[in-house]
Chains A and B, each alone.
Chain A
Amino acid sequence: MASLIVTPGERIAHAADYEASSGTYERDEYVYASVVGEKRELPPPAGGMRPLIQVHRKKETSAIPEIHSIVTGKVVRVKPREATVSILVVGNVPVRESFQGIIRLQDVRATERDKVQMYKSFRPGDIVRLASFAEMEIEGTWG
């Protein structure tokens, strides 16, 4: 158990044998740990050749929305061209401090984008499920 715990900057594997995953980084043909935690090996992802290597933190940090993650939030402000959302859940994990997201007018739905009216689509207090597709910009679907 003790030998599995690694600290930042510790060399944990050859980059040729493993693919760097969360909690690690790659430099000069080696994979290094970037957080303190337990070293874990995971089977290669679909289409991948090398197994993944990650460092798993015991103490969980707050979830952070990333690009393409599914988030759930509450509409806090509606403007003619955009709605502001306070993100409460990322995937299945509630965040400790809420993040701000924006639903732009052109991203509300896939068809008839020019006929969307923000006031008819959202009201403050609505709970929405969204796919984030750029940092600080979020594409919306009804939830």
Chain B
Amino acid sequence: MSRFDIVSPEGLRVDGRRPPELRRLSCRTGVFAQADGSAYIEQGNTKCLVAVYGPREPSKRLLTEKGPTINVEYNVASFSSGERKTKMRKDRRLMEIASVIKQTFEPIICYGQNVASRSEIDVNIQILQLDGGALHAAINATTLAMIDAGVPMRDFVCACSAGWYKDTALLDLNHLEESADVPTLTVGLLPKSGKVTLLSLESRLHLDKFQSVLELASQGCERMRDELDSTIRKATQELAKTAL
């Protein structure tokens, strides 16, 4: 038994949320002038910055069969979490997350019409502050940055995490909850078609509980979609105003 409860007897979590509640979300697109597309997302205390370059000509001739190549660089700032970590040159963990993000976006990019099938898209992800849910914050920010860059996509990719503690499913876990033996399921969803492009679970979760955790995470994704959609619409309207 830990020193404090993840869910208090009153049904509140450590940061005062109820189990099915998201953290405060704020996002912005077009934060860099240099990049083709960029986005900044804050979800609770997790802060993430993404810059997308491309579609452009591949720097080295890559013989992919079809579809553009996506290069993902995922970085966590050394000042992002409680204790400062010296960065290793080749961190396996970061490389794994980068490849997960790459695989999430590969099937949903439309190619053929505007994006030449042999072009290259570079995605740079920087986690500035880490308080749990870095993966889904990074995916949501990448979606926004991709849209900002004008990469044709089949749909938004909305990601959200959920976990299971005692008898309740918890949405959008923070760092304290993630590190306290709560199995965390991250779901990446295409909300329009309901297709799942990402499902990652790094600890064990009983199969009986899986359904309800997945459902809660999907609901979180739906809400995330509304938020991302309104951000994009607002940014586009502002752009339209400046263009006129």
Interface residues of A (CB under 8 A from B): 1-2, 5, 7-11, 22-23, 25, 27, 32, 34-37, 57-59, 61-62, 64-66, 97, 99-100, 135-136
Contact residue range for chain B?
20 to 34
Q: Is B39 an interface residue (CB 8 A)?
A: no
Say yes or no: A34 contacts B154, CB within 8 Å.
yes
**Contacting pair B240 A35 (CB below 8 A):** no
Of the candidates A32, A58, A135, which one forms a contact with B154 in the assembled complex, judged by CB atoms under 8 Å apart?
Answer: A32
Main secondary structure of the interface of B (DSSP, over half): loop
Q: In whole angstroms, what is the CA distance A10 to B81 when docked?
A: 38
B238 to chain A, nearest CB (A): 10
Report whether B152 and A9 are in contact in the complex, using a CB–CB cutoff of 8 Å: no
Interface membership of B84, Cβ < 8 A: no
Contact of B205 with A by CB under 8 A: no
B115 at the A interface (CB under 8 A):
yes
Q: 25 A-B pairs, CB-CB below 8 angstroms?
A: A1-B240, A5-B236, A5-B237, A7-B147, A7-B156, A8-B152, A8-B155, A9-B191, A9-B193, A11-B192, A25-B152, A32-B154, A32-B192, A34-B110, A35-B151, A35-B153, A36-B150, A36-B232, A36-B233, A61-B150, A64-B55, A64-B114, A65-B116, A66-B116, A97-B57
Residues of A within 8 A of B117 (CB): 135
Residue of B with least CB distance to A97: B56
Contact status of A7 and B114, CB under 8 A, knowing A34-B152, A35-B147, A35-B152: no
Known contacts A58-B239, A64-B116; A5 and B192 CB within 8 A of each other = no
Contact A36 B236 (CB under 8 A): yes
**B110 and A25: CB pair below 8 A?**
yes
B213 within 8 A of A: no
Binding site for A on B (CB under 8 A): 36, 55-57, 110, 113-119, 147-156, 190-193, 229, 232-233, 236-237, 239-240, 243
In whole angstroms, how far apart are the Cα atoms of A7 and B156 in the complex? 9
Q: Are B152 and A23 in contact (CB under 8 A)?
A: yes
Interface-central residue, B150, B154, B191, B232, by most chain A CB under 10 Å: B150
Say whether A61 contacts B36, CB under 8 Å.
yes
Are B236 and A62 in contact, with the CB atoms below 8 A? no
Instruction: Tell me if A8 and B147 are in contact (CB < 8 A).
Output: yes
Q: Shortest beta-carbon distance, B243 to chain A, in Å? A: 6
Tell me if A25 and B116 are in contact (CB < 8 A): no
Identify the closest chain A residue to B155 (Cβ). A9
A124 to B36, CA, bound (A): 31
Residue of A nearest to B119 (CB): A64
A35 to B114 CA separation, bound complex (whole angstroms)? 11
Are A58 and B57 closer than 8 Å at their CB atoms?
Answer: no
Instruction: Determine the chain B residues whose CB is within 8 A of the CB of A8 once the complex forms.
Output: 147, 152-156
Among A2, A37, A61, A62, max chain B CB count under 10 A is at: A61
Q: Max chain B CB contacts within 10 Å: which of A11, A34, A66?
A: A34
A97 contacts across to B, CB distance below 8 A: 56-57
Output the nearest chain A residue to B149 by Cβ-Cβ distance: A61
Chain A residue contacts of B150, Cβ below 8 A: 35-36, 57, 59, 61
A97 to B153, CA, bound (A): 22
Select from chain A the residue with minimum beta-carbon distance to B192: A9
Which 7 A-B pairs have CB atoms at the shortest separation, nearest pair first? A9-B155, A34-B152, A9-B192, A61-B150, A8-B153, A34-B110, A99-B57
